Structure 1
Amino acid sequence: MTSAPPPSARSPLGALWRHHRRYRRRVVAAIACTSVNTAMDVAPEILLGAAVDVVVRGDDSFVGSTLGVDGRFAQLVVIAALNALVWILESLSDYVASLLWRGLAQTVEHDLRVEAYSTVQRLDVAWHERTSTGKVLSVLSDDVNQLERFLDVGARTILHTAWTVVLVGAVFAVTSWQLTLLAFLPVPVIVLGSIRFQRRLEPLYAAVRETAGEVSATLATNLGGLTTIKAFTAEERETARVERVSDDYRVANRRAIASSSAFVPLIRMAILAGFTSTLLLGGWFVFEGRLEVGLYSVLVFLTQRLLWPLTDLGQTLDLYQRAMASTRRIFALLDEEPHGVDGTRRLPAPVRGGLELRGVRFGYDDGPDVLRGVDLVVPAGETHAVVGSTGAGKSSLLRLVLRFSDPRAGQVLLDGVDVRDLTWESLRGAIGYVSQDVFLFHGTVRDNLAYGRPEASDAEVEQAARLAEAHGFISALPEGYATVVGERGLTLSGGQRQRIALARAILRDPALLVLDEATSAVDNETEAAIQRSLAVVTASRTALVVAHRLSTVRDAHRIWVLSEGRVAESGTHDELVAAGGIYAQLWAVQTGSAVAGPAHR
């Protein structure tokens, strides 16, 4: 038995209908209002024909003979009253239909954007590392907006056109089969042309959406790396890059527009043929007495009412194809599944923070193992460090502890529980993480400090800042804790950002504190401040420190030395220096008692 294809592989409209089944009643109500609106929109032409019939035939008119109204003026009053009622109903149904369709479009846009963003947040760190941020932003913003525009305008236009064809066709059908045939002769041409153009436009607009994603990706990357661009005087080169991808987008759009624009002239020629046929044959029937003048005028007006709205079909088809290409991209994103599945267990209270790795093997995608059978134990309440040369596997080990990735073999245990069995909240709620690349959100210093614990009091926030030795420089800021930091905290120095990140982790009061190269990019003063802070905050909790500067971990209870993905050595600082192995060589290089290689003359 074959499994059902994912939503992104099915009809985009069908996927939307199934995905948003909770809005089906609203859709039905919107369709009903649009149907009433279309009927009221067609009715004035019929009433106009009835008025012409009154003027020409007098008491023998349709209104006079059917409704029993005597006198031409009285008959016109009746028609005027009916016309007023029709216009009121048309205006009211148009208002309600607009509210329903636009509200539906906004609601679906909102739901899909939030759902897509939620999906993006659930996906693994590895997925984000191999996926362009700009392309994700293009889906969350531009693609969702394309769908909103179609639901707001296009869907209603298609429905209005379809009902116009049905209602006008009914009037023609009860009048003359010859006129019906001639008036509707262009419709198959238009429908077949629509199908042909739809198939032709589908890959063109898929290319448009793809190039739009490239533009977003390039802009997002360049704006994020603006300081690097300036530092390497690469402004002209990057402008040329943006110009190139923007031109690709322009060319893709131009190809799609060239095809969609050719559709309107085709429709106009078909309309001309249908209108001319009705005008001539209908007039001939009037001359021969086979058709009343009033009815003839109705049919002439209705022919235009039938065919002229089809000129908008080209623009509507354009909206449709853009929206369907975007919908496929949205559902392709929603179809993404994280490799890591949320566990069901919670850590037993009180959480102590004991950490253990048993026979852990890990690698990226289909690549070779980066960690090769690592065994490591960090007893609760102790501070352990992981050191090693670049590429030894230090950051990969931390990914497994935080469960940004899962091992290929072996176990990572926190308080004796496999982290894969724990809920995200239980696992990461017990960990305070300080990365080398500190990320601060645009907002106040206090907002960033309390990010992991928004309910913290001002006193608790200040105490965490004092423990991280950040209170002094925060108080000196223009507005203290209420000072707004720029995007990514770029208005602060690297050392200040690092201390805020440490305070943010401390405020969460984690059982396990994890630091990834927290002092690698700071000055000596900041390094000393972080060391003093760590000495205080790790006294009552477990800490795992990945460090490049060995001076920051010399007081750790145990140091684990990684080499080529394996634990090569472990022990205290003094034990490892005395052993004369890898750690001793690293220490000698960093303290200047040995040279890394021959000097160059």
Structure 2
Amino acid sequence: MRLLRYAKGYRRQIMTATVCSIINKLFDIAPEILIGVAIDVVVNQEQSFVASLGFETPQEQITMLAALTFFIWAGESLFEYLFQVLWRNLAQRLQANMRQDAYEHAQWLDMAFFESKSSGQLVATMNDDVNQLERFLDGGANALIQVGVTVLAVGAVFFVLAPLIALLAFTPIPLIIWGAFFFQRKAGPLYNDVREKVGDLSSRLSNNLSGIATIKSFTSEAREAERLRDASEAYVDANRRAIKVSSAFIPVIRMAILAGFLATFTVGGMMALNGNLNVGAYGVLVFLTQRLLWPLTGLAQVIDLFERAMASTRRILDLLEEPITVRDDSSTPMSQPVKGEVRFESVSFHYAASQVGVDAVNLHAPAGHTLALVGATGSGKSTLVKLLLRFYDPEDGRVLIDGQPVNEVSMHSLRQAIGLVSQDVYLFEGSIRDNIAYGKPEAGDATIIDAAKTAEAWSFIEMLPEGLDTPVGERGVRLSGGQRQRLSLARALLKDPPILVLDEATSAVDNETEAAIQRSLKHIAHGRTVIMIAHRLSTIVHADEIVVIEKGQVAERGTHGELLGANGHYAAQWRVQTGAA
């Protein structure tokens, strides 16, 4: 029902495809009826059923049946083509839109969701789970519809020709239907487990491939191969349990079908021998019994496919229904031009899992000033940046830019005003040009080169054989850490934001790169607000204000000279880093 609600925009396509499936099955059943009618013509000739329609001689009757058979087969072929095209196109369109909707929804989820979910699980949901639904719509939906049409249409013919035999032939059907629902109840949880194991396996593969350098450096190839084997075997075991249930369905159903067929075969034969049933009608009943009951053996495979698809669909719809806690409810843009004044007013926030965060923090960065945040790992520095960017909303207090609360302006205008350069640089697979121009895809080469020069990245870019067209590889793997960091800075600069946030941007680079970034900052900081998070205190000595964060609270604040004079946390850390301790 959740899937049908989601697919309400596809109702016309679903109805059209369903009608074509029904008509195709009706045409498919008709030849068996014509065989019985032909037998009646051969046996009874001028007294046959067809003769009563005005075709006097047996030759005319056979010719008429041949012509009718041709049109029935042509109609069956036409509607088989139509339902296959309609169902398959529907499957393609629905799976593409569902994947797109799931991805777009996921992009708006807050960071807490991504911190609690593995990327492998999400990729498995958006890719493999969506493909499971596509496989069911490709053939399973049509099969379910045609089984239902077969039961109704054949049942109608049976009750017209021989009600007693109809009752005998239909006796196994309740058992078959009960078996199908029994299987569905048993298989549903098993296939949910299968989909979970697929996600675990995808997560393991994704993590290992991303961390291949670490695996190699620790010579952990054998251990990681064993972990992958364990995840793979867990997936195999989950499938094995589901297969055990699904495989038991067909043998039981075949015996029920045999009972129905034997009833029609023997009782109908006796009635025909006694003259109580027309020979042609007996032939129709025998052929239609097979047409009625044998397709039900395939019901197990269809329901198996259905259960796999529904287990996947539940995961997709659960993702689509994941609540968005940080909502972009405002269409109000930030007041232009953005000057860049940043203020935290009694801001408190704690992560749900660990309960660490910040408590009643007050900060003020005037427009055009540089504010530096220092402190131990986990003290809350990066949390303040996440609150500024509205990755999270504070529990108490307000974050303001130019006097406007960030939750009262559109997310787009807020984040357009902020450039972020983080310690963990993420470069997209593509060229250097693509990555620098990520924030402004329309930027020309001259603008891109200016940004690269300001970030002191152009010196190495122009040395590369392909220059700006040099591929960076997945996550920038073809470049050094310092080169990636400079490209990240150039990317932020090309965006030309009034507020620039450097989240430990120099903590993982060499001294040369740090010196280059320091030189860049002298140009970058002019006319914009810079918020720097740093462990290397040498990078922030020229900041207008330095704030020491300890355990989520402001411990000290002042200029470099003032903090050294206070002889507190900052001064102690400075002595450690400069070797004066």
TM-score under structure 1 length normalisation:
0.95
Q: Bigger CA drift: 307-316 or 334-343?
A: 334-343
Give the distance between the partners of 1:385 and 1:550, measured in 2 at CA: 9
SS in 2 for 1:555: coil
Does residue 447 in structure 1 map to residue 429 in structure 2?
Answer: no
Aligned partner of 1:164: which letter?
T
Q: 3-state SS of the aligned residue for 1:392?
A: coil
Worse overlay, 98-107 or 486-495: 98-107
1:342 Cα deviation (Å)?
1.1
Deviation string, structure 1 residues 270-291 (Cα, Å, up to 9, x no partner): 1211111111111111111111
Q: Deviations over 1:326-364 (max 9, x none)?
A: 111111111111221114132111111110111111211
Q: Which residue of 2 aligns with 1:238?
A: 224
Name which of 57, 74, 81 aligns with 1:95.
Answer: 81
Match of 2:142 in 1: 156
Alignment-mate amino acid for residue 281 of structure 2? L
> Where do 5+ consecutive residues of structure 1 fail to align?
1-13, 595-601
Distance, in Å, in 2 between the alignment partners of 1:270 and 1:141 is: 39
Instruction: Provide the residue aligned with 1:319 in structure 2.
Output: 305
* Counterpart contact for 1:197–1:260, Cα < 8 Å: yes
1:44-123 matches, cutoff 5 A: 44-66=31-53, 68-123=54-109
Separation (CA, whole Å) in 1 of partners of 2:142 and 2:355: 55
Match of 1:3 in 2: none
> In 1, Cα distance between the equivalents of 2:78 and 2:459?
65
SS at match of 2:577: helix
**Counterpart AA for 2:380:** G
What corresponds to 1:140 in structure 2? 126
Q: Is the 8 A contact 1:442 1:484 kept in 2?
A: yes
> Which residue number in structure 1 is paired with residue 168 of structure 2?
182
User: What does residue 502 of structure 1 align with?
Assistant: 489
Query: What code does the residue aligned with 1:289 have?
Result: G
- Which segment drifts farther, 455-464 or 561-570? 561-570
Partner Cα distance (1:253, 1:368) in 2: 39
In the alignment, structure 1 residue 375 sits paired with structure 2 residue 362: yes
Matches within 5 A, 1:315-394: 315-344=301-330, 345-365=332-352, 367-394=354-381
5+ residue gaps, structure 2, are none
Cα shift at 1:507: 0.3
Question: Contact 1:361–1:369 (CA<8 Å) still a contact in 2?
Answer: no
How far apart, CA to CA, are the structure 2 residues paired with 1:366 and 1:42?
61
- In structure 2, what is the Cα distance between the partners aligned to 1:579 and 1:306? 91
Tell me the secondary structure at the aligned position of residue 161 of structure 2. coil
Aligned equivalent of 1:267: 253
Find the aligned partners of 2:546 and 2:32 in 1 and give their Cα distance: 89
| Residue of 517, 539, 542 corresponding to 1:530 | 517
Question: Which segment is superposed worse, 79-88 or 281-290?
Answer: 281-290
Equivalent pair of 1:556/1:572 in contact (CA under 8 Å): yes
Deviations 1:138-166 (A, max 9, x none): 11111111111111111110100110011
- Match in the other structure for 1:469: 456
Offset of 1:190 from its aligned partner? 0.4
Counterpart of 1:16?
A: 3
AA matched with 2:303: L
Q: Quote the Cα distance in structure 2 between the aligned partners of 1:397 and 1:124.
A: 15
The separation in 2 between residues aligned to 1:369 and 1:329, in whole angstroms, is: 30
Give distance in 1, aligned partners of 2:304 and 2:579.
69
1:289 equivalent to 2:271? Answer no
Partner of 1:6: none
Q: Which of 288, 298, 319 is the equivalent residue of 2:284?
A: 298
Give the partner amino acid of 1:28: M
Residue 485 in 1 paired to residue 472 in 2? yes
Letter in 2 for 1:219: L
Q: Which amino acid aligns with 1:70?
A: E
Paired AA for residue 186 in structure 2 = R
Does 1:427 pair with 2:414?
yes
Q: Residue 280 of structure 1 is aligned with which of 266, 280, 289? A: 266
Secondary structure at the counterpart of residue 588 of structure 1: helix
Q: What residue number does 2:19 align with? A: 32
Distance in 1, Cα, partners of 2:126 & 2:464:
36
CA distance in 1, matches of 2:520, 2:308: 55
CA distance in 2, matches of 1:94, 1:147: 21
Paired with 2:395 and 2:211, the residues of 1 have a C-alpha distance of 34
1:399 partner letter: K
Q: Which amino acid aligns with 2:319?
A: L
Q: 2:239 aligns with which of 253, 258, 261?
A: 253
Is the 1:577–1:583 contact (alpha carbons within 8 Å) kept by the matching residues of 2?
yes
Q: Which amino acid aligns with 1:341?
A: R
More deviation, 97-106/426-435: 97-106
Partners of 2:508 and 2:565 lie apart in 1 by: 29
Paired-residue identity, %: 53
- Residue 367 of structure 1: CA displacement? 4.2
Determine the C-alpha separation between the residues in 2 that align with 1:83 and 1:35. 18
RMSD: 1.2
Quote the offset at 1:70 in angstroms.
Answer: 2.7
Partners of 2:499 and 2:225 in 1: how far apart? 46
1:8 aligned partner: none
Residue by residue, what CA displacement relative to the aligned partner does 1:442-490 show, whole Å, maximum 9, x if unpaired? 1111111111111111111111111111112111222111111110001
How far apart, in 1, do the equivalents of 2:315 and 2:356 lie? 33
Farther off after superposition, 525-534 or 333-342: 333-342
Match of 2:384 among 373, 397, 405: 397
Whole-Å Cα distance in 2 between the matches of residues 47 and 278 of structure 1?
A: 19
Give the number of aligned pairs: 580
SS at match of 1:211: helix
Amino acid at match of 1:447: D
